[in-house]
Amino acid sequence: MRKFLVILTIIFIILIAFVGGYYIGGGKLYIDKFLSRNNATDSNKGSSNNSSNINTPIEEKDPIKEKIKSLTLDEKIGQLTIVGIEGTEINDNTKELIQNYHVGGVIFFKENISSRNQALTLVKSLKNINGTGIPLFLGVDEEGGRVSRMPTEYRKLPSSGTIGKKDNEGLSKKVGEILGEEVSSVGFNLDFAPVLDINSNPKNPIIGDRSFGNNAELVSKLGVATMKGIQSKNIISAVKHFPGHGDTSVDSHKGLPTVNNDINRLRSFELIPFKKAIDNGADMVMVAHILLPNIDKTYPASLSKVVISDLLRKELGFNGVIITDDMTMGAITLNYDINKAAVTSLKAGSDIVLVCHDYNKEKTVIESIKTAVNNKEITEQEIDDKVYRILKLKDKYKLGEEKQEQYNIQDINNKITSVLK
C-alpha cells in the first residue's frame, strides 16, 4: 500500500510540473515543436533528407552576380567601354584592346566593312580572341538613309525622314525588322538606332532627315515601332540621342551644341519619344554631347548627373544600359580632357563609355577609369552595378549562344525594294 502511494505521489508531481510549465510559458511552445517535428518526420519517412531543412527555402544564386564575382577589376572595367578598331582585319592594337584591356564591345564603321563575308570573318576573329567568357557587343550605326555601314551588296534603306512622311506604323516596324536582319546578317548584335530626336530646328546640321519628323507624336509612334522591329530580330536597339539633339545648331562631331530649353520644355516635347520607348521596353539609351545650361550649367548631357541619374534614371524610370555618344567627337575633345570626361560620365551614372577612334585614347580612357577606382572616385560597388546591367542585357539577347540567323542578302534586298515602293 505504501509503495502504491509513493508511485501515485511521483505521478502527481510530474503532472503538476508538466502543466505548470505549460502555462508558465514553455509548455505550448514545446508541444508545438514536438508536433511539428513528428509531422515532419512522418512526412519524410523513407526519405534520406534531413528533416530540419524541410521548411527552409533554398536561396537561388544569381548567375550574373556569380559571374561578376569571378571577374578581375580589369575585366569589369573593360566591360564599361565599347571601342572602335582599325581596318578590316585584326591587328596588334585590336588584340591588345580585347585581350589585355578586356573591352566590352566593338563598334564598326565603313572602314571596317568591305563585304559581308569579310565582315563575318572579322567578327569571328574578334570572338575567337575574346578570353573573358563574356560575349562582346558588336555594334554599328545602321539607321537607313545617309547613316549606313552596310557593304555595297545591300540596297539602301530610305531615311527615317522619308519613312516619317508616310506616317505608317506598320511600315516603320517592317523597316526595323529589315535593319535587324541586315545587322544580324553580318554578325553584329547591336544597332545604334533608331534616332528619337525631334527635328524641330530647320538649321540643325546633324539630325535633319535622320529624324522621323518635327513633332513628338510622330517620332514617338514611328520610333517605337522601328525599335520593336529591330528587337524582334534578336538585335539590341540603342535609341538616341537623349535628351534630344533636334533643336541644336552645331554638329557635335565638330563642337559643343548649346540648347537653352528648360525642363518644362523638355518634358512637354523632347523627352516624349524617349519616355515612350522606355515604357515599351528600350534596352539601351545613348546620351548626347549637348549642353543644356538651364538643366546643368557645367556639364553636357553625357557628363551630367542631373541629366543621366536624375532625369533619365529616376524621372523617366529607365533601368537599362546607358551609353555615351562617342567621346572622341569634337564636343568633348575640344572642350574637355577625354580621360576626365569618361570618368565624370561614369560618376554621373552612365554604364558604357563609347570611344570610337584613336587607339591611344581608347587605352588611356580605360586606364583613367581604373585610376579613378583605385583612388576611390568610383567605388567597386558602382562598377559592379554597371557591369550587372551590361551582363544582364547580354544575357537577355543570348549573345554568347550564336543564335543570330544568317539572312539571305537577296531576301533582304527584296524587302528593301518593297519598302521603297
Q: What is the tens place of the pLDDT at every residue in 25-67?
A: 433 333 233 333 334 434 444 444 444 455 666 778 999 999 9
Query: In whole angstroms, what is the distance from residue 353 CA to residue 333 CA?
Result: 14
- What is the distance between the alpha carbons of residues 153 and 68, in angstroms, rounded to a whole number? 41
pLDDT on residue 55: 64
Does 6 score more than 80 pLDDT? no
E strands, 109-231, are: 137-140, 190-191
Q: What is the mean pLDDT of residues 403-412?
A: 80
pLDDT value for 28: 37
For 360, other C-beta atoms within 10 Å of its C-beta total: 8
Helix axes 216-231 and 271-279, enclosed angle (nearest 10): 40
Let me know if residue 410 belongs to a domain.
Answer: no
Instruction: Please tell me which residue, 401 or 153, carries the higher pLDDT value.
Output: 153
Which amino acid makes up residue 303?
Answer: L
Please determine, for residue 171, whether its predicted confidence score (pLDDT) is greater than 70: yes
The arrangement of strands across the sheet holding 284-287 comes to 321-324, 284-287, 236-242, 190-191, 137-140, 105-108, 81-84, 353-355
Which residues, in sequence order, are CB contacts of 218 under 8 Å at separation 6+? 164, 167, 212
From the list 167, 253, 310, 357, the catalytic residue is: 253
Residue 1, in any domain of the structure: no
pLDDT at 301: 97
pLDDT for the residue 2: 52
Nearest one of 258, 240, 342 to 295, comparing CA atoms? 258
Q: Is the pLDDT of residue 258 over 50?
A: yes
Q: Is 325 a catalytic residue?
A: yes
From 141, 197, 296, 325, active-site residue: 325
C-alpha radius of gyration, the chain, whole number: 30
Say if 171 falls within a structural domain: yes
For residues 147 and 27, the model is more confident at 147
Q: Where are the beta strands (DSSP E) in 162-319?
A: 190-191, 236-242, 284-287
DSSP three-state, residue 375 = coil
Give the per-residue pLDDT at 39: 40
Name the packing angle between helices 409-420 and 169-185 (round to 10°): 160
CB 207 within 8 A of CB 246: yes
* Domain annotation covers residue 199: yes
For the chain, the domain total comes to 1
The whole model's pTM is what? Answer: 0.85
The mean pLDDT of 339-365, rounded to a whole number, is 98
Position 32 in a domain = no
> What proportion of the chain, given as a percentage, has pLDDT over 90?
78
- Confidence at 21, pLDDT banded by 50, 70, 90: very low
Give the domain extent around 219.
Answer: 78-401
pLDDT at 26: 39
- Classify residue 14: in a domain, yes or no: no
pLDDT of residue 10: 56
Q: What is the pLDDT of residues 218-240, one digit of tens each?
A: 999 999 999 999 999 999 999 99
Q: For the stretch 309-325, what's the b/e string if a residue is b when 16 or more beta carbons lie within 10 angstroms of its beta carbon?
A: bbbbbeebebebbbbbb
Looking at residue 99, what is its pLDDT? 97
pLDDT at 9 over 70: no
Express each pLDDT in 75-88 by its tens digit.
Answer: 999 999 999 999 99
Greater model confidence, 401 or 361: 361
pLDDT of residue 8: 52
Residue 243 has pLDDT above 90, yes or no: yes
245 is catalytic: no
With respect to residue 61, please indicate whether it lies within any of the assigned structural domains.
no
Residue 249 has pLDDT above 60, yes or no: yes
CATH label of the domain that carries residue 231: 3.20.20.300
Position 301 in a domain: yes
